[in-house]
Amino acid sequence: MSYHVSCAYPCLGQENVDDKPLVNPGEFDTLDALSPASQEYNIYMLENLPPKYKTYLGTCADKMGPSGISECNEDVLREILTNKPVSRECCLMVVRAGKECYMEIRKLMFRLYQLKRFASQVFFKTNEVWNRCSAEVEMSCAYPCLGQEDVDDKPLVNPGDFDTLDALSPASQEYNIYMLENLPPKYKTYLGTCADKMGPSGISECNEDVLREILTNKPVSRECCLMVVRAGKECYMEIRKFMFRLYQLKRFASQVSFKSNEVWNRCSAEVESPSSSHDHTILYHVSCVYPCLGQEDVDDKPLVNPGEFDTLDALSPASQEYNIYMLENLPPKYKTYLGTCADKMGPSGISECNEDVLREILTNKPVSRECCLMVVRAGKECYMEIRKFMFRLYQLKRLASQVSFKTIEVWNRCSAKVERPNMKIPDNGFSEQDVVDTSGDNGGSRSYGDGQLVSEEIDGVLL
């Protein structure tokens, strides 16, 4: 199965099509000149934002600091539209708030009347500004930056009150039992696998300590940080989301996203610090790789029988027209981005290796080490975007809702194989039909069993 995508895209030596600013620097300050009708549009839009979303954006603004939401955000907008770089001080504010906050504030800004005409053109430039700022900050300061004031140091729960959170009425206990019983079976399995990755005591002691840090600011121990990092960020975040659906904690759910991220960042920085080479040894020799060795693999059945894989390209004329139409209507910048990703994999990457990756995702047949090298060379973001694109093709889109975890698993296996060539990595499948929907009716939204959808948009197109 070959996907000749690269022929439609620029080669590495092509002129950068995105270096021309969207707005001439001299015209930037005129963007705020609004008619009364335009001002009413903005007022109406802002007033009708969901209350929790307003709170979320307010928290993001607070994390940037007193001047973050005005001066720095204006400078970020200026860089996105005119290519004038923001200052290092502004980059510190951006990174302090975190990528999720940064992206959400950008989305809101490009919903304003005076900016919404640019909304479909700024996704990659917005990402580029984040990447530049985070790289600049990380080169010279560890997380959090020395001397940076912590604007979120007030705990959500007084330390003395923390142990009382588990005091539940019978009705509250019934709520929790009902919620637990109605989790999708595969999501329960996924959470159980995450708990196993943390180790025997991870799901109780360490998770309680993580919860304590999120709510009271009491730091978890280094040993607990090792368990957290061993499980991985996705597991860590999913366990957090689950815990804040419990009756006694759900009132904090809208306030803990960034503190949860902050605990992860602190733990990963502590574990990955130069002084922790011993910890790297521990992490590289943990007793279980995902899923844990010896645990029954509930998702090892391939999505496609190996003998049927090569028949997936048998398309009717109508199906071929569907693919042609979809390809022709991709945003130009997204085509360029995919082409750059293909180039990063190398000359054979977009055809042979990508076909082998698809084969592993669908049939569990492992890709070669040479293909893993191409995958890791391109980077995780490119790898994931190419996968998303491929599962929008007519012959594959019916499988799109089932491949998210298997796609990530192939990446993890390849990156581990490249980084630790002598370590044997188990080959197994993990689908998530009941957990994550990567396309289909949600238009590229992900749902982790709790109804919360996270849309992924590239240049105005939902993926």
- Cα–Cα distance measured from residue 191 to residue 239, given in angstroms and rounded to the nearest whole number: 7
- Cα–Cα distance measured from residue 314 to residue 323, given in angstroms and rounded to the nearest whole number: 13
- Cα–Cα distance measured from residue 271 to residue 53, given in angstroms and rounded to the nearest whole number: 33
- Cα–Cα distance measured from residue 205 to residue 193, given in angstroms and rounded to the nearest whole number: 17
pLDDT tens, residue by residue, 350-377: 678 888 999 999 999 999 988 998 888 8
Strands (E), 331-396: none
pLDDT band at 150 (very low <50, low <70, confident <90, very high): very low
- Cα–Cα distance measured from residue 454 to residue 393, given in angstroms and rounded to the nearest whole number: 22
Q: By mean pLDDT, which of 93-107, 108-122, 223-237, 292-306 is the weakest?
A: 292-306
For residue 47 the two structure tokens come to: 């007033």
Q: By mean pLDDT, which of 114-118, 314-318, 385-389 is the weakest?
A: 314-318
pLDDT of residue 441: 37
The amino acid at 57:
L
311 beta partners? none
pLDDT of residue 236: 87
- Cα–Cα distance measured from residue 150 to residue 87, given in angstroms and rounded to the nearest whole number: 20
Of 186-190, 419-423, 448-452, which has the strongest mean pLDDT? 186-190
For residue 289 the two structure tokens come to: 């790789």
Which residues 6+ apart lie within 8 Å of 415 measured at CB? 372, 376, 380
pLDDT tens, residue by residue, 171-223: 888 888 988 888 888 888 888 888 887 776 555 788 889 999 999 999 999 88
pLDDT tens, residue by residue, 265-299: 888 887 765 444 344 333 333 323 333 322 333 34
pLDDT of residue 271: 77
Q: Is the pLDDT of residue 438 over 80?
A: no
Q: What is the percentage of the chain residues whose pLDDT exceeds 90?
A: 8
* pLDDT average, residue stretch 103-120: 89
Which residues 6+ apart lie within 8 Å of 391 measured at CB? 397, 399, 400, 403, 438, 439
Of 3-17, 334-348, 380-394, which has the strongest mean pLDDT? 380-394
Report the candidate in 151, 148, 53 with the shortest Cα–Cα distance to residue 91: 148
- Cα–Cα distance measured from residue 342 to residue 355, given in angstroms and rounded to the nearest whole number: 13
461 beta partners? 458
pLDDT of residue 120: 84
* pLDDT average, residue stretch 243-256: 86
pLDDT tens, residue by residue, 11-65: 333 333 446 889 988 888 888 888 888 888 889 888 888 888 888 888 888 777 6
Burial letters for 327-342: b for 16+ Cβ neighbours within 10 Å, e otherwise? eeebbebbbbbbbbbb
For residue 136 the two structure tokens come to: 């600049």
pLDDT of residue 463: 35
Residue tagged 């070669």 (tokens): 368
pLDDT of residue 358: 92
For residue 99 the two structure tokens come to: 């990528």
Is residue 112 a contact partner of residue 38, using CB atoms and an 8 Å limit?
no
pLDDT of residue 166: 81
Check: pTM over 0.85? Answer yes or no.
no
pLDDT of residue 210: 92
- Cα–Cα distance measured from residue 103 to residue 121, given in angstroms and rounded to the nearest whole number: 14
pLDDT tens, residue by residue, 54-81: 888 888 887 776 655 578 888 999 999 9
Cα–chain center distance at 309: 29
pLDDT band at 315 (very low <50, low <70, confident <90, very high): confident
* pLDDT average, residue stretch 114-129: 88
How confident is the prediction for the chain on average, in pLDDT?
Answer: 74
pLDDT band at 405 (very low <50, low <70, confident <90, very high): confident
* pLDDT average, residue stretch 254-275: 77
Most distant CA atoms of the chain, gap in Å: 68
Which residues 6+ apart lie within 8 Å of 127 measured at CB? none
Q: Is the peptide bond before 36 cis (omega within 30 degrees of 0)?
A: no
Which residues 6+ apart lie within 8 Å of 201 measured at CB? 227
Return the SS3 of 413. Answer: helix
Is residue 157 a contact partner of residue 216, using CB atoms and an 8 Å limit?
yes
pLDDT of residue 457: 36
